[in-house]
Structure 1
Amino acid sequence: MRPTDPARNRVTRVRGVPPRDQRLGALHPGAWWLWALALGTAATRTTNPLLLALLIAVSAYVVVARRPHAPWSRSYGAFVKLALAVLLIRLLFTTVLGSPIPGTHTLLTLPEVPLPDWAQGIRLGGRVTAEGLTFALYDAMKLATLLICVGAANALANPTRLLKSLPGALYEMGVAVVVALTFAPNLIADVQRLRAARRLRGRPDRGVRGLLQVGLPVLEGALERSVSLAAAMDARGYGRTARVPAAVRRTTAALTLTGLLGVCAGTYGLLTAAGGTYGVPVLLIGVAAALAGLWLGGRRTVRTRYRPDRWDARAWLVTASGAAVAALLFLAAARDPAALHPGVVPLVAPSLPLWPAAAVLVGLLPAFVTPAPEPAAARAPAPAPAPAPATKPAKEPS
């Protein structure tokens, strides 16, 4: 048996070749997106502000516990700010343009602007009621929760690894989507870097002046990044396709089109009472046909995958936790719609339904079954040991 050389093992770790168990430790990025989209789907089934706030708290806890130390993972705060902006804009529009919800609790009365006859149904100013503002707040919180869930997926899933995991038929579309999704994180990272540099130089980084002086370097960096990305894609043969028979191309198009139509018809059947009998079979047939079309379409894409991510048991658990939250809230909305949609006329305080709240807490499972992010200090390679100082050999006695 050959003795192991610790120096050789140390050099291997420094070069960045992780062992097999570390390569398999990261969760599949598609599982994070499915989990986040399921939470967002659950948010569309309720306007109860307590349940929506609980969904936001669940996604925020998972992001804080499992967000990796990477530049693209810093975009969660930007999505939270965007959600707050949505709330404020919705309330502002309700205050200025009025609300169709009747109310008796008048908060303030704005001067109303008379409008011509062709603008019937629209008013500027007038009475602002508590019922109208409450309805607008509930409705805007639903969209804000959906945005925050999408921000959680952006902060948890590596976009490069997600692109590697896409089927071959969706590779080109996936590149466009990944570039669009990484635009916001890269832009935020550039703005933070430039503002920090301006603060170190003693220059203003806030206000209109600071924004104008930071905007030009940010746009210049985005242009340089786009040119570099285009050159890299061209050098790697992006867009090259393999030759396949005409019959395979026709079969691929027919299967994909049939699958998409089946998915649409099955989804419509599930959402309507009359189509409950045929909805599930048509949906399953459509999904099978679409998957077969994607598999055949992948034969035209000439590309290889280096160390592909595996869909392991933890990915199934993360996806199942999000799907369970969505399914249980769908069931709660059908059985007890009054608890998930509190009324505003008359104005009553919302109550927290117990078992839907417990169902939302199932979404915390990824914080306990997924591996913790690697510390930032451990990501940097260890410095090589310094060579020992050279010493002169001692003279032999004569």
Structure 2
Amino acid sequence: MPRLITRVAPLPPDAVTRSAPVLRTTHPWAWWAWALCAGVTASLTLNPLVLALVAVALVTVVLARRDDGLWARSLKFYLLLGAFIIVGRVMVRLFIGGSTTGTVVFRLPEIHLPAWAAGIRLGGPVTAEELVWAATDATRLATILLCVGAANSLANPRTALKSVPAALHDISVAVVITLTVLPQLIASTHRVRRGRRLRGNAVRGLRGLAATLVPVVEDAVEGSMTLASSMEARGYGRTRGQQKVPGHTTVALLAALVSLLLGAFVVLGVPASPVTVLGLAPERWLALFLLAVGVGLGATGLRSAGRRLSVTRYRPAPWGAPENLVCTCGALAVAVGLWLTSPLGYPDQLNPPPLTLTWPALPLPAILLPLLLALPAVLTPRPQRAGGR
């Protein structure tokens, strides 16, 4: 009987290696470090031009380096949420005013409050200074929120869960799942709406919202339960030969936590004195010292505790030059922001006085902030398979 199937030549030994696509994406915790630095940079200024440039840099990096994952679709939601915050903040300031001095734009019917509510005014004259200040303050909050949205759009949550220190593995599962609730809901909304359109049911408005809400919540819960079951079935995160953490490691972690809390309190709650030492107030130097001690003790304690835990891992995400460049860009942006807001920089232009109607000035060194934050769009690899698609 003749042979109907031709004989196939054997593949060379390295053919599988050459043809196998290699996926190289930036480490998710590098994106989170970059986003946190961007949030700190945005919190240092009230200049709307600088905040707008920082937001443009964030959107540019997300559009250039996000992948095809479901979590990458959350940027639009954060942009809409930021716009809602700005509009809502202006509307609240519109009806609940405080200052009556300034350029009156129009007047609303005023509701007189009792004496115990002194300082709060419902209605009455609306000044342009109040509206501008409310919009500027809300823009800073929206930009900080956009930093979180950028991190959620760029960081793979499952890879982030695999790459946490062993000492924090128990609580990191809850933290990562909490951070991915919103992207999971957005992905579920896309799937449910697409399924309804394919079935010819394209009802919009409140009726469509009621028909979409229950399937979205159900899909998100089922996805979380499936992920938890698969992690448990594969033994994910289980430890072998777990040993008791020594007392000095626990003391170091507690001291790190106290030092970080005190440093954050000094930064946020203690006003800076007019006396400066090397360009910074003594309170700022104390805050930097406490934060540095907290970070050092925390890193030492986590490393010591992690050595006594043997956590199962599979294909850990690499940390190389792209991740170092991303973190360096964020740290440099924070350093430049601290210099610009210090007495040695341009504090009056980065943080103009409130309730004033002057056009914000943009000092030339302030352009470094969005440029540094936008550099990861060029310095990091594209989130696609080697060889293209």
TM-score by length of 2: 0.85
Deviations 1:135-174 (A, max 9, x none): 0011000000001111111111111111111101111221
Q: What does 1:259-270 align with in structure 2 at a 5 Å threshold?
A: 259-265=256-262
Shift of 1:312: 1.1
Query: Which of 113, 119, 122 does residue 121 from structure 1 map onto?
Result: 119
The code of the aligned residue for 2:329 comes to: S
What corresponds to 1:73 in structure 2?
72
Q: Is the 8 A contact 2:241 2:310 kept in 1?
A: no
Q: Quote the Cα distance in structure 1 between the aligned partners of 2:285 and 2:212.
A: 58
Q: Quote the Cα distance in structure 1 between the aligned partners of 2:358 and 2:42.
A: 21
Q: Quote the Cα distance in structure 2 between the aligned partners of 1:309 and 1:265.
A: 34
- Number of residue pairs the alignment of both structures matches: 368
**3-state SS, counterpart of residue 111 of structure 1:** strand
What corresponds to 1:49 in structure 2?
48
Q: What does 1:1-398 align with in structure 2 at a 5 Å threshold?
A: 5-6=10-11, 18=21, 22-23=22-23, 25-98=24-97, 100-237=98-235, 248-265=245-262, 273-275=281-283, 282-299=290-307, 301-334=309-342, 335-374=345-384
Q: Quote the Cα distance in structure 2 between the aligned partners of 1:292 and 1:376.
A: 37
Q: Is the 8 A contact 2:82 2:143 kept in 1?
A: yes
Shift of 1:103: 3.5
Shift of 1:91: 0.6
The structure with more radius of gyration: 1
Q: Quote the Cα distance in structure 1 between the aligned partners of 2:44 and 2:285.
A: 23
Q: Quote the Cα distance in structure 2 between the aligned partners of 1:377 and 1:221.
A: 35
The code of the aligned residue for 1:262 comes to: S
Q: Quote the Cα distance in structure 2 between the aligned partners of 1:220 and 1:279.
A: 46
Q: Percent identity?
A: 42
Shift of 1:377: 11
**CA distance 1:50–1:11, shift in 2 (3 Å):** same
The code of the aligned residue for 2:336 comes to: L
Q: Quote the Cα distance in structure 1 between the aligned partners of 2:241 and 2:387.
A: 48
Structure 2: which 5+ runs fail to align?
1-8, 273-280
The code of the aligned residue for 2:369 comes to: A
Q: Is the 8 A contact 1:103 1:345 kept in 2?
A: no
Q: Quote the Cα distance in structure 2 between the aligned partners of 1:365 and 1:135.
A: 31
Shift of 1:301: 3.9
Q: Quote the Cα distance in structure 2 between the aligned partners of 1:279 and 1:201.
A: 59
TM-score by length of 1: 0.84
Shift of 1:314: 1.7
Q: Quote the Cα distance in structure 1 between the aligned partners of 2:257 and 2:129.
A: 42
Q: Quote the Cα distance in structure 2 between the aligned partners of 1:325 and 1:261.
A: 27
Q: Is the 8 A contact 1:103 1:132 kept in 2?
A: no
Q: Is the 8 A contact 1:261 1:286 kept in 2?
A: yes
Shift of 1:179: 0.8
Deviations 1:305-333 (A, max 9, x none): 22222221221111111111111111111
**CA distance 1:5–1:266, shift in 2 (3 Å):** farther
Q: Quote the Cα distance in structure 2 between the aligned partners of 1:285 and 1:34.
A: 19
Q: Quote the Cα distance in structure 2 between the aligned partners of 1:364 and 1:156.
A: 14
**3-state SS, counterpart of residue 128 of structure 1:** strand
Q: Is the 8 A contact 2:322 2:381 kept in 1?
A: no
Deviations 1:52-103 (A, max 9, x none): 00000111111111111111111111111111111111011001111x3454
Give me the CA root mean square deviation.
2.7
What corresponds to 2:5 in structure 1?
none
Q: Quote the Cα distance in structure 1 between the aligned partners of 2:227 and 2:179.
A: 15
Question: Which stretch shows the higher mean deviation, 307-316 or 230-239?
Answer: 230-239
Q: Quote the Cα distance in structure 1 between the aligned partners of 2:170 and 2:368.
A: 41
**3-state SS, counterpart of residue 105 of structure 2:** strand
**CA distance 1:278–1:116, shift in 2 (3 Å):** closer
Q: Quote the Cα distance in structure 2 between the aligned partners of 1:203 and 1:331.
A: 56
**3-state SS, counterpart of residue 124 of structure 1:** strand
Q: Is the 8 A contact 1:69 1:376 kept in 2?
A: no
Q: Quote the Cα distance in structure 1 between the aligned partners of 2:228 and 2:284.
A: 48
**CA distance 1:208–1:132, shift in 2 (3 Å):** same
Q: Quote the Cα distance in structure 1 between the aligned partners of 2:294 and 2:102.
A: 50
Question: Which stretch shows the higher mean deviation, 313-322 or 53-62?
Answer: 313-322
Structure 1: which 5+ runs fail to align?
380-398
Deviations 1:20-40 (A, max 9, x none): xx35x3222111111111111
Shift of 1:130: 0.6
Q: Quote the Cα distance in structure 1 between the aligned partners of 2:265 and 2:223.
A: 42
Q: Quote the Cα distance in structure 2 between the aligned partners of 1:244 and 1:306.
A: 19
The code of the aligned residue for 2:364 comes to: L
**CA distance 1:342–1:102, shift in 2 (3 Å):** farther
